[in-house]
């Protein structure tokens, strides 16, 4: 089979198309013939060697796939031919991938494979950060950084549907328009406006919540945008450097900081994470939520896809199709 391999940490050109043996499913596993593989910023961080606990080269990246069950191991209550989407423990950038049967999710309704590949990581992350970790309630105000990205477009829709006042940052008018169309009440071009000033001007005392997947200076500025007893949910460091919020601000502002890592959370609190799946599946199936697929690349163009994301050209979910 064809697969993408990373022989050593580095730039996007380290992604190389190779031939590998087709993997066989073990007990409790299935093999999926991959129709679409989602690209996540975590894949890029892993490729750079900046992802805590990430895989060591050589390895095949990819943590979520959509496709058709092709083979099943012992003790699996699934049938060959089932249309499924799943998070996988690496190996998603390939013609075939192995997944634990317990983690399989049926593809909602008539959703395409490309759309389904943008569902697990982004929508679970967005839902968990907003509700299970952040405790967002109707009438709350929330700022979502990178509001036109994969997690961002999911979070904007979920927060808006929940009756929150939604602020969102992006770098271009096209991305801001996308966020606004999905329910962002206050689109903010962070290259031209100070999101802290906007948040303070549009609210009485500041925001109830901020979702931060950026890190670096954005994290401390996000704390500045919160009102007393507000909540900062940190789920990534796309800037390449973790944020360092001032403990003084946390102390005197009674600010809560919640850390969220999807992989670790599933390992330790699977029911808390996966409890969102029925609601998300229903909302995606009836059209209340829509996966925003930005660009689709052929498997052999994985390096180009990674560079596209790193150049900040992407909006919505970027997907590979074998």
- Looking at the structure, tell me whether residues 174 and 186 fall in a common domain: yes
Q: Are residues 242 and 305 in the same domain?
A: no
- How many domains, in total, are found in the chain? 2
Query: Mean pLDDT, consecutive 10-residue segments, the chain of 322 residues?
Result: 97 97 96 97 92 93 97 93 95 97 88 94 96 98 95 97 98 95 97 96 96 93 97 90 88 96 93 93 92 94 96 87 94
The pLDDT, as a whole number, for residue 315 is 81
CATH number at residue 92: 3.90.180.10
Q: What is the reported pLDDT for 252?
A: 95
Q: What is the pLDDT of residue 53?
A: 86
Tell whether 112 and 128 lie within a shared domain: no
Q: What is residue 52's predicted lDDT score, i.e. its pLDDT?
A: 83
Is 285 domain-assigned?
no
What pLDDT is recorded for position 239? Answer: 82
Put simply, whether the predicted model's pTM sits higher than 0.85 gets the answer yes
The pLDDT of residue 217 is 93
What pLDDT, in 10s, does the model give residues 106-165? 998 789 999 999 999 999 999 999 999 999 999 999 999 999 999 999 999 999 999 999
User: Do 113 and 129 share a structural domain?
Assistant: no
**Three state DSSP letters for 69-111:** EEEECCCCCCCCCCEEEEECCCCCCECEEEEEHHHCEECCCCC
């Amino acid at each position: 089979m064809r697969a993408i391999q990373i022989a050593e940490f580095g730039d996007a050109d380290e992604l190389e198309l190779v031939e590998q043996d087709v993997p066989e499913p073990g007990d409790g596993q299935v093999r999926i013939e991959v129709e679409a593989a989602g690209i996540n910023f975590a894949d890029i961080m892993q490729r750079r060697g900046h992802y805590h606990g990430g895989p060591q080269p050589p390895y095949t990246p990819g943590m979520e796939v959509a496709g058709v069950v092709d083979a099943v191991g012992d003790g699996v209550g699934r049938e060959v031919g089932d249309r499924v989407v799943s998070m996988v423990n690496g190996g998603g950038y390939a013609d075939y991938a192995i997944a634990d049967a317990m983690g399989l999710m049926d593809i909602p309704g008539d959703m395409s494979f490309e759309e389904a590949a943008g569902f697990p990581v982004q929508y679970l992350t967005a839902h968990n950060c907003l509700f299970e970790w952040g405790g967002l309630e109707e009438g709350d105000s929330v700022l979502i950084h990178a509001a036109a990205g994969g997690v961002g477009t999911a979070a904007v829709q979920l927060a808006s549907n929940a009756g929150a006042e939604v602020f969102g940052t992006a770098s271009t008018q096209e991305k801001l328009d996308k966020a606004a169309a999905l329910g962002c009440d206050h689109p903010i071009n962070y290259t031209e406006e100070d999101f802290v000033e906007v948040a303070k001007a549009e609210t009485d005392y500041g925001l109830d919540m901020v979702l931060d997947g950026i890190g670096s200076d954005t994290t401390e500025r996000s704390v500045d945008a919160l009102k007393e007893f507000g909540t900062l949910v940190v789920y990534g460091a796309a800037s390449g450097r973790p944020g360092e919020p001032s403990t003084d601000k946390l102390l005197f502002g009674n600010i809560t900081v919640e850390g969220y890592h999807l992989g670790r959370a599933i390992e330790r609190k699977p029911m808390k994470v996966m409890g969102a799946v029925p609601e998300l599946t229903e909302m995606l199936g009836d059209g209340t939520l829509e996966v925003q697929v930005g660009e689709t690349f052929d498997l052999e163009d994985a390096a180009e896809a990674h560079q596209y994301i790193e150049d900040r050209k992407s909006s919505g979910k970027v997907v590979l199709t074998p």
